[in-house]
């Protein structure tokens, strides 16, 4: 393409005409480095590698400034496809977190399915067995002006997740669904995957030592390359516009769980062969940026070059070189191995697991060699189509974006305490965001692999025992509240961390590592970039203050994550959504507790007093449709003490049920404990001690200030009280479990809530069905 010596306007026209997103100055800088005009395939390669999605060009500086990615348990931070932390001396947990927002808005089913497909590859390619996923989902207002479309997107996304995840055979152990009108034209589909691997069996996603000198083979494995997903990362790095919808559709990938299932089993055989023979390989999945991204990153991270023949790439039809390089065809991996291993590797895929017969034209093919010259070279039909310095291609560029606080005018609504608080609690329980998630999680196979110990709906976090014969368990939870983000991105970041940690602590697991998926608007707009920085600052402060239990001042490490910008359309930007996934560790799954009430007569305690913090609450939304201003804050010292002490009180057997307080406040939390499981036990709670005597009763019931409700084992009350006192926490006895199906709350000896559990169950389980009908 002509760049050198041509005016900006002409270059701009040529770039846009070719469908390349690079700016004119970016294109000129490439021509400068090459000392000539770049070829079209070269420009596409740069466009891909320098996209926001692949290069993190707007976010990297902020992430490096704030995030804590190291720690005593970290085996591998965010430098490869997935992060890794140690469980014990032998086992590690592998975790990755991605977004698939734009594609899911356009084609919900395929978009969401591809999200799972991509994230499980990221975990698998580290040599790990993928053992669980989680799906944090954000949809628009199901009763708003775009209701029909919102419901269509929501249904399609859930279908895509179950159709892919169930067929692949990975259980969904956590997730959440939040409806908020800022997502009317921009849904968020985040997905988390975790795996387990032995520490000495981790496979690196870069070329192994000696690969260049010994001319290792580069082998492409999986589905035949087609044009699907061409331009995918560029599409993900722009705002959505309705008029582009048809063009964007072509940028969405087509996933195939069936082929993936077969590939995973073949990968397992490959890993076992290399381990038993002591061969070091490089192995990486092809995700955003396709073949170009995976190959160049594998070469560059080891300091080598590569010489690749695109004619050897198995593909569906005749494709131009830039499409072979940059299409995002799903279900592919790249292997770098010594040539003497190549025939056996090909046999595993092409004969043992019979890829060509399982899926038309799928196979493993040798496509090139590693070199030592530091050049990224591709050839097509006898011509050299790309020859660039590999580190320049993968190095990307950095932008220091401007930030400016968003002007906001949030006010507290004026509400009188409602007369019938039982009725209000019923409405909150039936609201789209507080109601039971059962309607959705029953679509997910939460049992496959047979490792499930605590499933969605039984507690605040899911729990699996992923290694047979071992007693340890891995807990998983996700959180982020967009309504808090609307008021304060900083507190949205901090509360997301705190709540995700509280969730795993509620079953007795220790928050052990986290991932972040940061969903924001256009970073070229200073307000959106400010929101991003504030949220990262908030989550980073929380990760540090709520340190790793047993390692004072060592932040809970964030070992993997993703940044998704440009979540906006002409109708506006999404509420700031820093989504956190927290992995918890429990030494013995036998010690974990669920949230359902266990025994009539057991005492119910509260830790975490109620404050006037109803900004962004479900109560405000339900009674007056307002957002409010007093967003819940994280009182860092108190929060850490609550989380760590709850874990200890479960481990030592004092607490038999626990549930953290979030959406819908104390009222919804208590109701959920009664409604989970058999739902034949109720509670009587006196609210007088739950917070300041000046707080209105509605505020005591619905404030979303952080805290826990704990059901104490009979006879352990003094032990529990002693422990809390020693840790400087105020343990408030609210009442007891009652052998009757009703939830009663009193204040100053007057009944303020009396809820029949049968009616409550109807409201609570029906809310989400109604929102997604």
Partner 1 sequence: MKVAVIQFPGSNCEHETLVAARSAGLEGEIFRWNRPAEELCDFDGYMIPGGFSYQDRLRAGAIASKEPVMETLKEEAGEGKPVLGICNGFQILVESGMLPGLDGVDAALAQNVMVTKGEIVRRGFYCAWTTLRHDAVAGRCSGSYLIEKGSLIDMPMAHAEGNLVTADENLIEKLNEENQVVFRYCDTGGETGNEFPVNVNGSVENIAGICNPEGNVLGMMPHPERSSFAWQLPFVDPAARRQIDTPGPGRLIFESMRRYIEVSR
Which of 103, 229, 257, 521 binds partner 1 (CB under 8 A)? It is 257
How distant is the alpha carbon of residue 180 from its chain centre? 18
Which of 347, 383, 442, 751 binds partner 1 (CB under 8 A)? It is 442
Q: CA-CA distance, 742 to 759, in Å (whole number)? A: 10
Nearer residue to partner 1 within complex by CB, 265 or 383: 265
Does residue 770 bind partner 1 (CB under 8 A)? no
Does residue 271 bind partner 1 (CB under 8 A)? no
Residues 6+ apart with CB under 8 A from 770: 430, 432
Residues 6+ apart with CB under 8 A from 325: 41, 44, 45, 48, 290, 291, 292, 310, 378, 386
Does residue 765 bind partner 1 (CB under 8 A)? no
Q: CA nearest 333: which of 276, 303, 295, 302? A: 295
Does residue 133 bind partner 1 (CB under 8 A)? no
Does residue 266 bind partner 1 (CB under 8 A)? no
Which of 449, 571, 759, 761 binds partner 1 (CB under 8 A)? It is 449
- Least CB distance to partner 1 at residue 256 (A): 8
**Residue 185, token pair as written in the block:** 């034209």
Does residue 460 bind partner 1 (CB under 8 A)? no
Nearer residue to partner 1 within complex by CB, 355 or 492: 355
Scanning 61-69, 132-140, 218-226, 448-456 for contacts with partner 1 by CB under 8 A, the matching segment is: 448-456
Out of 97, 100, 314, 644, which one is annotated catalytic? 100
Site for partner 1 in 283-302 (CB under 8 A): none
Does residue 168 bind partner 1 (CB under 8 A)? yes
Q: Is 149 a catalytic residue?
A: no
Indicate the pairing of strand 129-139 with strand 91-99.
unpaired
Does residue 472 bind partner 1 (CB under 8 A)? no
Q: Residues 631, 498: contact at Cβ < 8 Å?
A: no
Q: Is 100 a catalytic residue?
A: yes
Which of 592, 631, 643, 731 binds partner 1 (CB under 8 A)? It is 592
* Phi, psi (degrees; rounded to nearest 5) at 291: -60, -40
Q: CA-CA distance, 773 to 155, in Å (whole number)? A: 8
Does residue 679 bind partner 1 (CB under 8 A)? no
Does residue 448 bind partner 1 (CB under 8 A)? yes
Does residue 668 bind partner 1 (CB under 8 A)? no
Nearer residue to partner 1 within complex by CB, 129 or 375: 129
Residue 704: count of CB within 10 angstroms of its CB: 31
Does residue 180 bind partner 1 (CB under 8 A)? no
Does residue 446 bind partner 1 (CB under 8 A)? yes
Largest Cα separation within the chain, whole Å, is 88
Collapse the DSSP code of 93 into the 3-class scheme (helix H, G, I; strand E, B; otherwise coil) and give the result: strand
Length of the chain: 773
Does residue 588 bind partner 1 (CB under 8 A)? yes
Nearer residue to partner 1 within complex by CB, 4 or 448: 448
Q: CA nearest 614: which of 428, 431, 753, 412? A: 412
Which of 471, 551, 748, 751 binds partner 1 (CB under 8 A)? It is 471
Does residue 141 bind partner 1 (CB under 8 A)? no
**Residue 233, token pair as written in the block:** 């990362």
Residue 570: count of CB within 10 angstroms of its CB: 10
Q: Residues 608, 225: contact at Cβ < 8 Å?
A: no
Does residue 231 bind partner 1 (CB under 8 A)? no
Distances from the Cα of 70 to the Cαs of 138, 539, 743, in angstroms?
A: 30, 15, 45
Which of 1, 18, 167, 397 binds partner 1 (CB under 8 A)? It is 167
Q: CA-CA distance, 463 to 506, in Å (whole number)? A: 11
Strand ordering across the sheet containing 510-519: 452-454, 462-464, 473-479, 577-586, 510-519, 558-564
User: Binding string, 333-352, against partner 1, x = CB under 8 A?
Assistant: -------------------x
Scanning 67-75, 180-188, 447-455, 619-627 for contacts with partner 1 by CB under 8 A, the matching segment is: 447-455
Q: Which residue numbers are catalytic?
A: 53, 100
What residues make contact with partner 1 under the rule CB under 8 A?
A: 162, 166-169, 256-258, 261-262, 352, 354, 358, 441-455, 458, 465, 468-469, 471, 588-594, 596, 677-678
């Amino acid at each position: 393409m002509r760049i050198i010596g041509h005016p900006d306007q002409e270059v701009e026209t040529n770039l846009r005409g070719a469908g390349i997103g690079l700016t004119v100055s970016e294109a000129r800088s490439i021509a400068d480095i090459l000392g000539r005009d770049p070829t079209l395939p070269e420009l596409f390669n740069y466009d891909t590698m320098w996209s926001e999605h692949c290069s993190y060009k707007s976010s990297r500086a902020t992430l490096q400034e704030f995030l804590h990615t190291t720690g005593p348990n970290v085996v591998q931070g965010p430098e490869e496809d997935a992060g890794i932390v140690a469980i014990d001396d032998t086992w590690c947990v592998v975790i990755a977190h991605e977004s698939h927002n734009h594609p899911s808005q356009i084609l919900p089913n395929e978009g969401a399915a591809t999200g799972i497909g991509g994230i499980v590859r990221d975990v698998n390619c580290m040599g790990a067995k993928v053992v669980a996923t989680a799906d944090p989902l954000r949809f628009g207002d199901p009763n708003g002006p775009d209701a029909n479309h919102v419901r269509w997107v929501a249904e399609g996304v859930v279908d895509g997740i179950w159709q892919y995840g169930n067929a692949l055979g990975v259980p969904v152990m956590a997730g959440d669904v939040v409806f908020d009108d800022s997502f009317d034209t921009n849904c968020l589909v985040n997905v988390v995957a975790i795996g387990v691997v032995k520490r000495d069996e981790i496979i690196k996603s870069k070329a192994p030592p000696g690969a260049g000198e010994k001319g290792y083979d580069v082998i492409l494995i999986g589905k035949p390359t087609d044009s699907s997903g061409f331009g995918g990362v560029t599409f993900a790095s722009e705002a959505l516009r309705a008029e582009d919808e048809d063009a964007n559709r072509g940028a969405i990938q087509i996933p195939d769980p069936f082929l993936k299932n077969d590939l995973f089993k073949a990968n397992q055989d490959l890993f076992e062969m290399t381990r038993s023979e002591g061969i070091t390989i490089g192995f990486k999945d092809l995700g955003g940026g396709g073949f170009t991204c995976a190959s160049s990153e594998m070469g560059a991270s080891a300091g080598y070059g590569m010489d690749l023949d695109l004619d050897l790439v198995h593909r569906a039809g005749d494709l131009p070189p830039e499409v072979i390089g940059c299409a995002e065809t799903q279900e592919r991996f790249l292997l770098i191995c010594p040539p003497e291993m190549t025939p056996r590797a090909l046999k595993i895929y092409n004969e043992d697991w019979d890829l060509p017969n399982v899926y038309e034209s799928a196979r493993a093919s040798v496509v090139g060699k590693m070199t030592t010259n530091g050049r990224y070279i591709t050839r097509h039909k006898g011509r050299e189509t790309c020859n660039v310095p590999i580190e320049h291609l993968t190095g990307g560029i950095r932008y220091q974006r401007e930030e400016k606080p968003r002007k906001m005018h949030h006010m507290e609504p004026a509400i009188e305490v409602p007369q019938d608080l039982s009725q209000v609690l019923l409405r909150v329980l039936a609201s789209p965001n507080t109601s039971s998630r059962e309607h959705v999680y029953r679509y997910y196979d939460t049992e496959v692999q047979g490792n499930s110990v605590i499933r969605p709906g039984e507690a605040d976090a899911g729990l699996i025992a992923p290694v047979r014969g071992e007693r340890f368990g891995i807990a998983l939870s996700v959180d982020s509240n967009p309504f808090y983000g609307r008021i304060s991105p900083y507190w949205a970041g901090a509360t997301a961390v705190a709540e995700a940690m509280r969730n795993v602590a509620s079953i007795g697991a220790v928050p052990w590592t986290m991932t972040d998926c940061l969903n924001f608007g256009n970073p070229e707009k200073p307000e959106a970039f400010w929101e991003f920085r504030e949220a990262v600052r908030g989550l980073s402060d929380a990760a540090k203050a709520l340190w790793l239990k047993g390692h004072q001042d060592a932040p809970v490490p964030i070992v993997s994550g993703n940044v998704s910008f440009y979540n906006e359309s002409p109708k506006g930007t999404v509420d700031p959504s820093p989504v956190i996934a927290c992995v918890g560790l429990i030494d013995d799954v036998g010690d974990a507790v669920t949230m359902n009430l266990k025994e009539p007569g057991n005492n119910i305690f509260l830790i975490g007093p109620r404050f006037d913090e109803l900004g962004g609450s479900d109560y405000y939304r339900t009674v007056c449709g307002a957002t409010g201003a007093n967003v819940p804050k994280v009182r860092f010292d108190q929060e850490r003490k609550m989380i760590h002490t709850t874990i200890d009180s479960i481990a030592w057997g004092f607490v038999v049920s626990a549930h953290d307080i979030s959406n819908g406040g104390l009222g919804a939390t208590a109701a959920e404990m009664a409604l989970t499981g058999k739902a034949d036990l109720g509670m009587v709670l006196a609210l007088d001690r739950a917070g300041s005597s000046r707080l209105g009763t509605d505020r005591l019931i619905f404030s979303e200030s952080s805290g826990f409700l704990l059901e104490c084992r009979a006879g352990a009350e003094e032990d529990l009280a002693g422990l809390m006192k020693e840790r400087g926490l105020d343990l408030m006895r609210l009442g007891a479990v009652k052998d009757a199906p009703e939830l009663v709350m009193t204040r100053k000896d007057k009944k303020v809530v009396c809820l029949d559990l049968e009616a409550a169950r109807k409201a609570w389980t029906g809310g989400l069905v109604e929102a997604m009908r």
